Amino acid sequence: MPLGRFGWLAVIALAATPPSRAPDIVVDVFVVDAHNVAVPGADVSIVRELNKLAAHGVTDDNGRRRLTISRSAQPFQIIARKIGFERGDQFLVPVHDTITARIVLHPAPQALPGVTVTAEENVKRKRYHVDADDIASSTRPILDALDVVTKLRPDMMYPPQPAGLDPCGLFYVWVNGKRVVSTIPDPFIAARARQQRSAAKATPRLGGGLGAVSVNVQTVLSSIHPEHVEEMTYSDCDDFTVNANFARNAVFVTLKPGIGFEPNVGSFVIEDWHDSPDLIERPSSTFRSRILGVYDGSTGDPVAGASVVDVVTGTYASTTGTGTVSLAFLREGTSTITIHKPGYSDLTMDVSISPRDTTPLTVVVTKP
C-alpha cells in the first residue's frame, strides 16, 4: 500500500536520525601522596597510544578530577604530574562505563642530585639512554621501540669507536631483565636486513646503520609499543657493568608498571591490573633514596666512581666523591647489585628496599 504524506515524513525523519553513539567512559581520578594525603593541583592526563591526549585536567582541593573520554576498546594511560613528585602513571583496559583510579605520587628523591658521573659516562648516557618522557615528546612519528633506536638514539646501532678497536653493535636485547630471543623472525625485517647489509658493503664509509642490528633485536624491538617503554639503556662493547653473558652490545628495555611482554607476541597491557580499578600505584619511593657507601678495605677511603649495578635491569649509578650513591633506581623488594670499580674485585650482594629497610649501607671493596 502506498505511503501517505505523513508516512513519508516519518521515513525521512528516521533516515535523518543519526545512529546512537556509544556512551563515553567516565574516569574518576584520585591523586594522593605516599602518606595517603590528597594532592591538589596535580596535572592529570589520559593518553591513548604514545601521545594522543584524550582528556586533561587538574585535581581539586580533595585531589580528585573527573575526566570523560570517548568509548574505545583500546587501552589508555593515566598520567599524573606535580612539581616535587615523580610522575605517576598506569595503563587500563576500558571494560566498565565508569572507572575509579587512585594514583599515588611519590616525592622525587632528594639524594639524586648528589650522584655524579664522569664526563665520559655523561656523554654515554646522552647517547645510550632514553626514557618515557623523551619518547613521548618526540616530534617524529614513533611506531615501536625500534623507531626509538633508529630515530632518537641512533648511536645504539653503530656506536662511535676509536680506530683500531673492535666495532661495537646492537646484537642482543633484554626486556625487564631477561634476554629475549625471538623464535619467529619477522620475514619483512629479515629481507630488509639483507638489503641493508648489501648496501652497507657498497658504501662502507657510511657505517652499518640499521643493517648492523641483528634480525632478532629488530624483531623484538618492533613488537614493543613505544608508550609501554619506561626506559631503554644501551651497553656497548666496552661496558662491563652488567656481569652476565650477552650483556654487552645489548639494549636493556624496562617496561612501565602494568605492561607485560612475551616473545613473538610483544608488549601488552596486563588486564589483571583492572581487576582492582580503585588502586593504581607505582612502587613506593619514600624509602627508595636509601644510601649506599663504598669504601676501600685497606685505607678506609671513600671509593668514588664505583658503578652500582642492578643485575636484573642493568640500570646503574656511580658513587660520588664521598663514596656514596642513592639506591633510588632500585625497585621495591630485594635486588641483587654488583659494585664494580676498575682496580677492585667486583662485589655482588642483595639489597632490600622497603619501608623497614631505610638505614644507610656501608660496604668495603678490596683490591685483588
Q: How far is CA 302 from the centre of its chain?
A: 32
Fold of 25-105: Immunoglobulin-like (2.60.40)
CB within 8 A of 260, min separation 6: which ones? 267, 268, 269, 270
- For domain 121-268, give the CATH number: 2.170.130
pLDDT of residue 33: 85
pLDDT of residue 240: 73
CA angle 230, 89, 290 (to 5 degrees): 70
Q: Is the dihedral of CA 201, 205, 210, 214 positive or negative?
A: positive
Of 218, 59, 231, the closest CA to residue 129 belongs to 231
Q: Is 350 exposed, middle or buried (0-12, 13-18, 19+ CB in 10 A)?
A: exposed
Write the class of the CATH domain 291-365. Answer: mainly beta
CATH 2.170.130 residue ranges for the chain: 121-268
CATH 2.60.40.1120 residue ranges for the chain: 25-105, 291-365
pLDDT of residue 355: 62
SS3 content of the chain, % helix, strand, coil (to 5): 20, 35, 45
CB within 8 A of 288, min separation 6: which ones? 106, 109, 327, 328, 330, 332, 353
pLDDT 10s digit of each residue in the chain, 368 long? 455 555 555 555 555 555 556 678 899 999 988 778 899 999 999 999 898 999 999 999 999 999 999 988 888 999 999 988 888 888 888 878 888 888 888 776 544 334 444 555 566 777 888 888 899 999 999 999 999 999 999 988 877 765 555 668 889 999 988 889 877 766 777 677 666 666 555 544 444 567 678 888 999 999 999 999 988 888 888 777 676 788 888 998 988 878 889 988 899 988 754 444 333 333 334 445 578 888 888 888 888 888 888 888 777 788 877 788 878 778 777 888 999 999 999 999 888 876 666 677 888 899 88
* Rounded Cα gap, residues 80 and 78, in angstroms: 7
- What residue spans of 241-298 are helical by DSSP H? none
* Rounded Cα gap, residues 270 and 248, in angstroms: 30
Strands 88-92 and 98-105: unpaired
300 Ramachandran zone, left/alpha/beta (phi>0; psi -120 to 50):
left
Indicate the SS3 state at residue 176: coil
Q: pTM here?
A: 0.66
Q: How far is CA 208 from the centre of its chain?
A: 27
